């Protein structure tokens, strides 16, 4: 199902897996970035809070992390993997999401 590298996932595969409930998408951007637009169905967990809240993430399905370009979500993915979670980094982040013309919600969920 996950066609990118071992710990990465393409945007299209992310959307498909979220639609079936087989993947949780976690947005690690800060509040102001997320307010400008986020992936529908994503959970917000700023990278600055990840260490404190990592144990609260589910371990019953893969988790994909997304930021604007993929750098911060790569850090989140590494931290989650070290904590024993099945984690992926969304390749290209929200920039790739927008380039593909996918739905984006705005404001505070």
Mean pLDDT of the chain: 92
Q: What is the pLDDT of residues 26-49, one digit of tens each?
A: 999 999 999 999 999 999 999 999
The model carries a pTM of 0.92
d(CA 29, CA 46): 5
8-99 CATH fold: Oxidized Rhodanese; domain 1 (3.40.250)
Domain spans of the chain, in order of start: 8-99
Residue-wise pLDDT tens digits, 53-78? 999 999 999 999 999 999 999 999 99
Torsion angle defined by CA atoms of residues 39, 109, 78 and 8, in that order, rounded to the nearest 10 degrees: -10
Phi, psi for 14 (deg, rounded to 5): -60, -50
């Amino acid at each position: 199902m996950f066609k990118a590298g071992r710990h990465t996932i393409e945007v299209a595969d992310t959307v498909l897996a979220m639609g079936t409930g087989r993947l949780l998408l976690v947005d690690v951007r800060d509040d102001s970035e997320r307010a400008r637009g986020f992936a529908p169905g994503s959970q917000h967990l700023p990278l600055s809070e990840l260490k404190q809240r990592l144990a609260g993430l589910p371990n019953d399905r893969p988790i994909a992390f997304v930021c604007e370009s993929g750098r911060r979500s790569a850090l989140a993915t590494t931290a989650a993997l070290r904590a024993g979670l099945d984690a992926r980094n969304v390749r290209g982040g929200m920039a790739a999401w927008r380039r593909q013309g996918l739905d984006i919600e705005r404001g505070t969920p």
